[in-house]
A = this chain, B = another copy of it.
Amino acid sequence: MESNHYKDFSNIGCTVPSRVDKRSKKDPTLVNINGIQIGGSEVIIIAGPCAIENREQLLETAKLVYAGGANILRGGAFKPRTSPYSFQGLGEEGLKYLAEARKQTGMPVVTEVMDTRQMELVCGYTDIVQIGSRSMHNYPLLKEAGKCPKPVLFKRGMMATIEEFLLAAEYILCEGNQNVILCERGIRTFETTTRFTLDLGAVPVLKRLTHLPVVVDPSHGTGHSWMVPSMAKAAIAAGADGIMVEVHNKPLDALSDGKQSLYPDDFAQLVKDVEKVAHAIGKKLLLHKPAPV
């Protein structure tokens, strides 16, 4: 609960466009995905591999993260890779495995779309459409996401100010899609021990400025799996509505982001630890039924 002393809204020096502005919509936006609500008093866990590499890897990881306490499964079929020579994702084949994993575990799924031409295809398979950090400034893609019937997990650009992030989210809302989940995933700074600098200050700033839910990705935000548990707990303590973490059934064999992917048993421990922090700030973890045998 914010103190009564700090009511002044005007001292942040940030233009907040009207549709995302908290002052235009008193109640926080609750994004509903197959019955899972993001943005309320329950903390949400999104987990899964960076990239869908093959059927077995995805299904195996999906079962393990479900057992560990994940609510939503993540996995990339279209991958924005820095080098053209890196694994680029399985494309539609990956989307099919994702749908199969959803069927087996009951978890809704989230996957990234990079190209306006693929929005319809991706929307046909996924429960949440992800717009990645490298696409935050891809305004044609944002407009398409604004027209799609699925909620959008919208990642902050690694180079974007919070003002630009909110203005970009406004592009989606302008087209009619109100179900936008903001995601802080680390910004680029001069520091070199971490892949990015996770800007957890963005959580209270976004919570003050907008009614949209905010989740944090400590995997990309740090680049080191051993940092993920600490930063996941910190994200929840800072007020995030959930976390998104990379988990791989065999991190050492991962085709991408293996260094920042958790082992499934470490993920299960992380969920238990995060739950305690959630309780400490008056929230709960969203529980799910035991994994189907």
Taking Cβ atoms with an 8 Å cutoff, the residues of A that contact B are 2-3, 5-6, 11-14, 17, 80-85, 114-117, 134-135, 137-140, 157-159, 161-164, 167-168, 170-171, 174, 187-194, 197-205, 208, 221-222, 224-227, 229-231, 233-239, 251, 259, 263, 265-266, 269, 273, 276-277, 279-281
**Given that A3-B263, A138-B114 are contacting pairs, would A222 and B201 also be in contact in the complex, using a CB cutoff of 8 Å?**
yes
Which of chain B's residues have a CB closer than 8 A to the CB of A189? 187, 189-190, 197, 199
Is B192's CB under 8 angstroms from A14's CB? Answer: yes
**Given that A191-B187, A233-B237, A259-B11 are contacting pairs, would A197 and B201 also be in contact in the complex, using a CB cutoff of 8 Å?**
yes
In the assembly, what is the distance between CA of A183 and CA of B127, in Å?
39
Which of chain B's residues have a CB closer than 8 A to the CB of A239? 230
Which of chain B's residues have a CB closer than 8 A to the CB of A5? 225-226, 251, 263, 266
Which of chain B's residues have a CB closer than 8 A to the CB of A226? 2-3, 5-6, 204, 208
Is A205's CB under 8 angstroms from B227's CB? Answer: yes
Sample (25) of A-B pairs whose CB atoms are under 8 Å apart: A5-B226, A5-B266, A6-B224, A6-B225, A11-B259, A13-B192, A14-B192, A81-B139, A82-B164, A82-B167, A83-B170, A157-B159, A159-B188, A162-B191, A163-B193, A189-B199, A198-B201, A200-B234, A203-B234, A204-B230, A204-B231, A208-B226, A233-B238, A234-B237, A237-B238
Q: Which of B167, B231, B279 is the one whose CB lies under 8 Å from A201?
A: B231
**Given that A191-B199, A205-B194 are contacting pairs, would A224 and B164 also be in contact in the complex, using a CB cutoff of 8 Å?**
no
Q: Which of B174, B200, B229 is the one whose CB lies under 8 Å from A200?
A: B200
Chain B residue at minimal CB-CB distance from A221: B201
Which of chain B's residues have a CB closer than 8 A to the CB of A83? 17, 167, 170
In the assembly, what is the distance between CA of A139 and CA of B138, in Å?
11
In the assembly, what is the distance between CA of A188 and CA of B191, in Å?
10
